[in-house]
Chain A
Amino acid sequence: MAENPQVDEVTGTETTGHEWDGIRELNTPLPRWWLYIFYATIVWSFGYYIAYPAIPMVSSFTKGMLGYSSRAEVAEKITAAKAGQKIYLDKIEGSSLEEIRTNPDLLEFSLASGRAAFNVNCSQCHGSGAQGVKGYPNLNDDEWLWGGTLDAIHFTIANGVRNDQSDDARTSAMPAFLKDEILDRAGVNDAAEYVLSLSGGGADKEAAARGKAVFSENCVDCHGQNGEGLAEVGAPALNNAIWLYGGDKKTIVETISFSRHGVMPAWGKILDEATIKSLAIFVHSLGGGK
């Protein structure tokens, strides 16, 4: 091509020598400003290679003169953010739950940090909206297995339920009435009918009447005379519309027969005190807090 430059007659521009079906490709020069910027970027890139991490090696990469690392930058930002949060975290750690709840600034901070901690640590079982699933309580409603005051919630979070981590872990001890042969199938059925009738349900009035005796003998110690429950031992109220495992007869029979033993880690062994307090404040704020 170079030895034989062809010039397009119409435009007066050199062609590249390529031709397709009579159409020749013009070798139109690039605008000079464009070309200079292109050269400038090439020069710039050499400076970049030297200053910043750039070239991959077999097991490593060139580090660059500035020693820049995006990972270090993130770490720095996290440190700075932590330092900014420290005054609040210290205040939260040093205040009582009630003091935090009634202080607008601390409340705002602990609700935000509590939500963040909840999403990371609690949402796996309780759901991202704390709405719970079967066996894992809904934290939005106003029924609490272990009490819905700020202090009770805080204690439950810190010590968990039925675990080896904390000596103070909440532990309920409902027997498996059928499995442990305390009741026979008929007794379980009658008790279930009675429990259903406590919240206005159930179809078999006779069985419910028989079940009342079974209930008085076996259940009232924990669940109360009218099935109102007892938070001290983790016995849920049976006289309302909220059921942890389900309120249909089949599920209630299953619960009485084999019992239910839920678990929860002792978060006090895993998270710091300020986070536990924030979590308690957050859970309490969801709407059911007492």
Chain B
Amino acid sequence: MSQRPSGRDVDVIDVAPVNKKENRALYKKRTKIHAKRTTGMYRSLKSWMIVVLLAIYYVTPWIRWDRGPGAPDQAVLIDFVSQRFYFFFIEIWPQEVYYLAGLLIMAGIGLFFITSLFGRAWCGYACPQTVWTDLFVAVERLVEGDRAARIHLDNAPMSLRKFTKRALKFSIWLIISLGTGGAWVFYYADAPTLMMDLITFQASSIAYATIGVLTFTTFSLGGLMREQVCIYMCPWPRIQAAMMDEESAIVTYRGDRGEPRGPYRKGESWEERGDCVNCNQCVVVCPTGIDIRDGQQLECITCALCIDACDGVMAKVGRPQGLIAYASLGGEHRRAQGDSSGIRLFRVRTLIYLLAWAGVGLIMLYSLANRTDLDINVLRDRNPLFTELSDGRIRNGFTFKILNMASEQRTLILSIQGLPGARLKVVGSEDLGESTTPYFTVKPDRVHSVRLLVSAPRDALPSDAVDVRFILNEVNATSKAHYDSVFRGPEK
């Protein structure tokens, strides 16, 4: 730096922020934002987040997981056709969809937790809209150059050069979009098979339509609409304020340190003035086109790129970093009174969010660890409620749905409690006759449907509705399941 000739140390850019509170209007033509490239800690963090998150998204469907013969070997698979959700060693059946509800609740509370700590950290680092927009902007920068070059190109009349650059940019965007939509469908079918079907044009029209829709949305949301999605379409900016308080650390311009702002020439005294040199670097790097010095704003996704930009400038002019930094309102107030305790992470609100999050997580873990792989549901016949037999016995019909969630065939014995003299008969292709403990074999990973006729002597019924319990035991194993039902007879 010191080798530079005297004069301006810092590029001062004459620019007005695109989005300013005073200029907000319901009907406004969009002004394109040409965000300038920046370097620094938060830029690196964001870049790493992009790499990691996109890698998770694209690679996950290709991870294999051996579940034995007959079962899919894809680690993460949402199989709508056979109604199963596979996640590594977990296999979820449709009636266990509350696990999904639990995950969503955890995601929601987790979002509250992070927001109460660091404001819109989700928006700035992890939201797909941010991740893909960042990727698309990186491509744009690679093809068309940085801010000044892009503005120049935008204003230039159409030429072969402009056309080539645009075509190249849109082509790369389109490839990314196609890859995004393409990766999505692999979560719903065996990825290698579907890949072959897709490139040989034998996949289902639903697969192509899904890819088409997601290609379109990725291209338009990430490439063309960008910050407008966050500002106008997304509900989260509207409700996130409810999770924040004055102790939430958000991207903040320290007005007390920065003001009064003004241009700075090398060698000038820092007395009687603020640290802000009014270079507008924080404005030009902002992907949503705001001036962070105007305070907390709806448009700010707390990507922290202005922190990087400002820290770079502060280093150049030799002032301490952190003129723009993660800070909380409460911390700023305390700082003004000479208390430098800064950000308070442990607060009642954050602890409640954390406890609620951990609570739901523990409940889910407990139920996941204790879930059985055998279950029965019993539907009793309602028409007729009961049948009187010629020998005076009363018969009820039941339909059993036996859920064998294990991957091996099992032999099960059924018995009934609460009905003396009961005889059970399984209706099926094999004539097993009546017994008190019928047995049957159930195929692996299947719902086995059995119709069962239960009869009992009329005298054994104390009332017209007897509570009974069906008990299912596995032969040579400890698994058991039971179901409480009712045996109906004539009115006494």
Instruction: Report whether B383 and A128 are in contact in the complex, using a CB–CB cutoff of 8 Å.
Output: yes
Q: Which of B387, B388, B427 contacts A285 (CB 8 A)?
A: B427
Which chain B residues lie closer than 8 Å to A285 at the CB level? 427, 451
**CB-contact partner of B429 in A107, A141, A287, under 8 A:** A107
Interface SS, A side: loop
User: Interface size of B by Cβ–Cβ distance < 8 Å?
Assistant: 20
When distances are taken between beta carbons in the complex, the residues of chain A under 8 Å from B464 are none
Tell yes or no: A170 within 8 A of B by CB. no
Find chain B residues with CB under 8 A from A54 CB. none
Q: Are B429 and A138 in contact (CB under 8 A)?
A: no
Q: Are B390 and A131 in contact (CB under 8 A)?
A: no
Confirm or deny: B318 has a beta carbon within 8 angstroms of a beta carbon on chain A: no
Which single member of B384, B427, B428 contacts A131 (CB below 8 Å)?
B384
Mask: chain B, 419-439; 1 = CB below 8 Å from A; 0 = not:
000000001111000000000
Which residues 68-115 of A have a CB within 8 angstroms of B? 101-104, 107
Q: Is B222 an interface residue (CB 8 A)?
A: no
Stretch from B372-380, B391-399, B478-486 at the A interface = B391-399
- Known contacts A128-B383, A131-B383; is-contact A101 B429 (Cβ 8 Å): yes
A138 and B384 in contact, given A101-B429, A287-B397 (Cβ under 8 angstroms): yes
Residues of A within 8 A of B395 (CB): 140-141, 287
Q: By the criterion CB–CB under 8 Å, are A104 and B429 in contact?
A: yes
Contact with A along B386-411 (1 / 0, CB 8 A): 01111110010100000000000000
Which partner residue on chain B sits nearest A104 by CB separation?
B429
Stretch at the interface among A183-191, A203-211, A237-245: A237-245
Q: Judge whether B453 is part of the interface by a CB distance below 8 angstroms.
A: yes
If A129-B381, A287-B397 touch, whether A140 touches B428 (CB-CB below 8 Å) is: no
A36 to chain B, nearest CB (A): 14
Q: Which residue of B lies closest to A100 (CB)?
A: B429
Tell me, in angstroms, the Cα distance from A131 to B383 when the chains sit together: 7
Query: Are B383 and A237 in contact (CB-based, < 8 A)?
Result: no
Bound form: Cα–Cα A28–B388 in Å: 74
Instruction: Tell yes or no: B27 within 8 A of A by CB.
Output: yes
B interface vs A, CB < 8 Å? 26-27, 381-384, 387-392, 395, 397, 427-430, 451, 453
| A240 close to B390 (CB less than 8 A) | yes
Contact of A140 (CB < 8 Å), options: B27, B387, B429: B387
Instruction: Determine the main DSSP class of B at the interface with A.
Output: loop
Q: Which residues of A contact B392 (CB under 8 A)?
A: 240-241
Residue ID in chain A nearest B390 by CB atoms: A240
Q: Kindly list 4 other residue pairs between chains A and B, CB separation below 8 angstroms, not including A138-B384, A140-B395, A143-B390.
A: A131-B383, A131-B387, A141-B388, A141-B389
B390 contacts A237, C-beta separation under 8 Å: yes
Within the complex, which residue of A102, A103, A142 is in contact with B389, where a contact is CB–CB below 8 Å? A142
Alpha-carbon separation in the docked complex, A241 to B395 (Å): 13
In the complex, which residues 174-222 of chain A have their Cβ closer than 8 Å to any Cβ of chain B? none
Minimum CB–CB distance for B57 against chain A, Å: 29
A and B contact pairs by CB, cutoff 8 A, 26 listed: A29-B27, A31-B27, A32-B27, A101-B429, A102-B429, A103-B429, A104-B428, A107-B428, A107-B429, A127-B383, A129-B384, A131-B383, A138-B384, A138-B387, A140-B395, A141-B389, A141-B390, A141-B395, A142-B389, A241-B389, A241-B391, A241-B392, A242-B389, A285-B451, A287-B397, A287-B427
Given contacts A107-B429, A285-B427, A287-B397, contact A142 B384 (CB under 8 A): no
Q: How many residues of A contact B (CB 8 A)?
A: 26
CB distance from B185 to the nearest CB of A (A): 27
Tell me if B428 and A241 are in contact (CB < 8 A): no
Which chain A residues lie closer than 8 Å to B451 at the CB level?
285
Roughly how many angstroms separate A13 CA and B382 CA in the complex, as a whole number?
66
Contact with B along A107-149 (1 / 0, CB 8 A): 1000000000000000000011111000000101111000000
Which residue of chain A has its CB nearest to the CB of B27?
A29
A102 contacts across to B, CB distance below 8 A? 429-430
Q: Which 4 A-B pairs have the closest CB atoms?
A: A129-B383, A131-B384, A240-B390, A140-B387
Complex Cα distance, B28 from A29, in Å, reads: 12
| Complex CA distance for A29 and B27, rounded to whole angstroms | 8
Q: How far is the CA of A185 from the CA of B395 in the complex (A)?
A: 38
Enumerate chain A residues within 8 angstroms of B429, measured Cβ to Cβ.
101-104, 107
Contacts of A103 on B, CB cut-off 8 Å?
A: 429
Q: Which of chain B's residues has its CB closest to A131's CB?
A: B384
**Docked CA distance A28–B26 (Å):** 10
Measured in the bound complex, the distance between the Cα atoms of B427 and A101 in whole Å is 10
The smallest C-beta distance from A100 to any residue of chain B, in angstroms, reads 9
Residues in chain A near residue B391, CB distance under 8 A: 240-241
Given A29-B27, A129-B381, A287-B387 contact (CB < 8 Å): yes
CB contacts (< 8 Å) of A107 on chain B: these are 428-429
Chain A residue at minimal CB-CB distance from B455: A287
Report the separation of the CA atoms of residues A195 and B273 in the bound assembly, to the nearest whole angstrom.
119
